[in-house]
Amino acid sequence: MGKLSFVLALAFYIGLLFLNYPKPNLGGDSAMGYALGLAFLGFGFALSSIGLFVGLASVGVFGNFVQDPFWRNLLAVILCIAFGITVFFSAALKWDNITEAVSFSPWLANMNSLIWFPLLIFIPSFLVLFLGKEPSFAPVRIFFSIGFLFSLVFTIGMLVDWLVYQSKQQKEMISQIQTRDKEQYDTFMREIADLDSTQSILGILPLTGRYHEAEIREAAVAKIKSRPDWESELIGILVSEFNYQYAYDFLDGNSVDHPALFTEPVRLSILQMAADIRMAIPNADNLQDWTFDHFGIERLLRVVDGQLAGQGMDFYPAILEVRKALDTSPPEQYKGVKYSVTPVLDKWLKDNLQ
């Protein structure tokens, strides 16, 4: 097994050399071919290296380093993994874009380790497996010692590089998220501050939702309530043909001064929603489970159960119309699509059945 694995590992190693020298074309279709070739040869080299190290272990090579059987076998496994990693990444990093690597990877890529490193293992392996030299033979012991040591140094160096690079990437990602959030925060606050009395409150209604950042939500609610007729404006949006769902953002968690004024407008908005759904489904060109999430049905139900609870107006018939609308027959290709809002409505209707 050791001899056959040696021949196979040597063949895959030679394949890696031919793949990388001279420099391959890393653009277009050639890049895909290079990647596939690298993957195939790397996988073959890894498998054959396992057989090679099993053969080396069977002739007592690793007994030169550790006597205890358990630690000797563990050392053989570690060195086999390190050897495979070293050869593969010596090939993979040679022509790769490594400008963002930390320190060890560029050093390895620039020293052409793919050419000479495997020979540190292949030469003594040939002497032991084919010429019958003892593992204690001085050239064998020296070559193996240098090769194994380099494998471990390289693997540890790559691991350190990877950890440092991942830490750097994570810090950059956090910084980008913080910058984006700050820019978004500034944009929202500017939109709120710039809204004047001639403009509709429609543009900042989404900022009043309960899940928005508290400071932004409070600023948007305060801006809206600073208008003397803000309730009338909100009602006007509720009974509009297209924008009623934006009012749910405000009503879900932000109190109004006269809740009774909103009962009928909310009911009418629900009926308008049912009509919109009935019209949308037969003409839809992309029905998905999330298609009707933008109507804010969950927000609406919280408004009905919270802000408008106990007013003597029964919303059940209107909400039932929305549920029936979801059963409108869709185009043939969308038969069987289940909307995520359906179970939400079913639960509400069940809980409020009289």
| Contact by Cβ (8 Å): 5, 52 | yes
- Give residue 96's Cα distance to chain centre: 24
Give residues with Cβ within 8 angstroms of 200, minimum separation 6: 233, 237
Contact 350, 319 (CB under 8 A): no
For tokens 């998220």, what's the residue? 177
Model pLDDT, residue 105 = 65
Q: How confident is residue 98, by pLDDT bands cut at 50, 70 and 90?
A: low
The identity of residue 353, as a single letter, is L
Report the pLDDT value the prediction gives residue 313, as an integer from 0 to 100: 63
Model pLDDT, residue 155: 86
For 241-270, how does the pLDDT look when each residue is reduced to its tens digit (9 = 90+)? Answer: 889 999 999 999 898 999 889 999 999 999
Per-residue pLDDT, 96: 63
pLDDT tens per residue, range 189-217 = 999 999 888 889 999 999 998 888 899 99
* pLDDT average, residue stretch 86-96: 79
Q: Would the pLDDT of 101 be above 60?
A: no
The confidence score (pLDDT) of residue 127 equals 92
Which has the closest alpha carbon to 298: 215, 225, 238, 210?
210
User: Using one digit for the tens of pLDDT, what is the confidence trace for 26-58?
Assistant: 777 777 888 888 889 989 999 999 999 998 888
User: How far is it, in rounded angstroms, from Cα 314 to Cα 150?
Assistant: 79
Q: Which two tokens stand for residue 317?
A: 């018939």
- Tell me: pLDDT of 99 over 60: no
Question: Does residue 81 register a pLDDT over 60?
Answer: yes
Name the residue among 210, 287, 193 with its Cα closest to residue 248: 210
pLDDT score recorded for residue 90: 82
Instruction: Please state, rounded to an integer, the average pLDDT across all residues of the chain.
Output: 87
Residue 332: predicted pLDDT: 86
Count of positions (residues) in the chain = 354
pLDDT band at 285 (very low <50, low <70, confident <90, very high): confident
